[in-house]
Amino acid sequence: MVQNRVAAMAMAASLVFAGGAWAQVAPDAAWQSVLDEAKGETVYFNAWGGSQNINDYIAWVGGEVKQRFGVTLNHVKLDDTAAAVATVVAEKAAGKDTGGSIDLVWINGENFVAMQEQGLLAEGFATELPNWQYVDTSNPSVTVDFTVPTKGQESPWGGAKLVFFSDTARSGPVEAMPKSAGELLEWAKAHPGRFSYPAPPDFIGSSFLKQVLIETTPDPAVFQKPVDEANFEAVTKPLWDWLDAIQPVLWRSGRDHPQNYPAMKQMLADGEVEIIFAFNPAEASSAIAAGELPDTVRSFTFPGGTLGNTHFVAIPFNSSAKAAAKVVADFLISSEAQLRKEDPRYWGDPTVLAMDKLPEDDRDAFAAIDRGIATLPPSQLGPVLAEPHSSWMTRIEEEWKRRYGN
């Protein structure tokens, strides 16, 4: 029955680029009922609000779903997604099984695992969305989030890949930059005070620790299972050895760390450090376009692979507007919305769609994106290193604080 419904949804409404315009394909009866129920509903979308270009993109989405589907999108700006999780936890504890205050949440990793384990998410819906047919399901991270199967309880929204960048006017060509965590350590020793990373639990700082963790561990497959306290110390020893070695040659001798990625970006612009990193391949080009970094900044990556994942939207179990939340989620994976999101003029976030599943005009539109002078093409981003099980980072962040926290 589920397979039949999915097949029917695959023929449902979708946005198709043809002849220079986006056309609406007639929905099937099942999706039409969702559209009918969604009309007039308000979706309270809890999403990180710390980036103006992302906020602007979400506002654009709001305008589109209002015009096309009669759905009102209210962006509830968060500093930390954990706050949304805590809200749903509190509502469930209070017996508020309907009429919840959150209808859609931007989520992945530890927060998704926590919500799934506690029964805080609506039943699987993602694979039944009409535009699911275009999603790149060959990428395992769209159906497995930090080693945990999503069970359709979250819909992919964008990709992420760790990239590094430097100002070639000061540090020379990126071809001479480090090509692994091991080479980065040697570079830092040769250039004391010119590298740092945000202190965990900052997201980008923790992501950097994961990169080093995976690279320095002889058998990283161990991270695809929950942490085992019995071997935690032995498994993570190479990480601590690496961090101990780099600590004295970090910016300010490791006594302080950048607060977050924006702080690192400013440090690169001011010449305080020579290498920084981001979890978005278009970040350097976007910063150049915004006047935040000089146009001599270029990106580089590690040939052996860097950390990558997918981020999602999910619907809490007690959402007040489940139908409208599904409509928004479906629009987010339409060709039109994904094309705009990948364009660095608006965001620069990598698409979750498979080019070979799209109509030719859509593929051409993606190929025509000007990704910017500092953005590596997808073919040069290197392999994706899979995220560890979320329990590893919980323990590693605790241990990092004990060892290096000020």
Tens digits of per-residue pLDDT, 345-403? 898 888 999 999 999 999 999 989 998 999 998 778 888 888 898 889 999 999 999 99
Q: Please give the average per-residue pLDDT across 337-346, as a whole number.
A: 92
If you search the block for the tokens 């608006």, which residue do you land on? 346
Task: State the pLDDT confidence band at 322, using cuts at 50, 70 and 90.
Answer: very high
- Classify residue 318 by its DSSP letter: T
Distance CA 294, CA 288 (A): 6
Whether the pTM exceeds 0.85: the reply is no
Beta-strand (E) ranges in 271-372? Answer: 275-278, 297-300, 306-314
Find residue 300's DSSP bridge partners: 164
Residue ranges per structural domain of the chain: 2-159+310-375, 163-308+384-404
CATH superfamily entry for domain 2-159+310-375: Periplasmic binding protein-like II (3.40.190.10)
Query: What class has domain 163-308+384-404?
Result: alpha beta
Tens digits of per-residue pLDDT, 266-317? 999 999 999 999 998 989 998 998 899 999 999 999 999 999 889 999 999 9
* Domain 163-308+384-404 in the same topology as domain 2-159+310-375: yes
Distance CA 360, CA 365 (A): 9
Closest by CA to 154, choosing from 182, 185, 132, is 132
Find residue 310's DSSP bridge partners: 159
Closest by CA to 197, choosing from 118, 307, 61, is 307
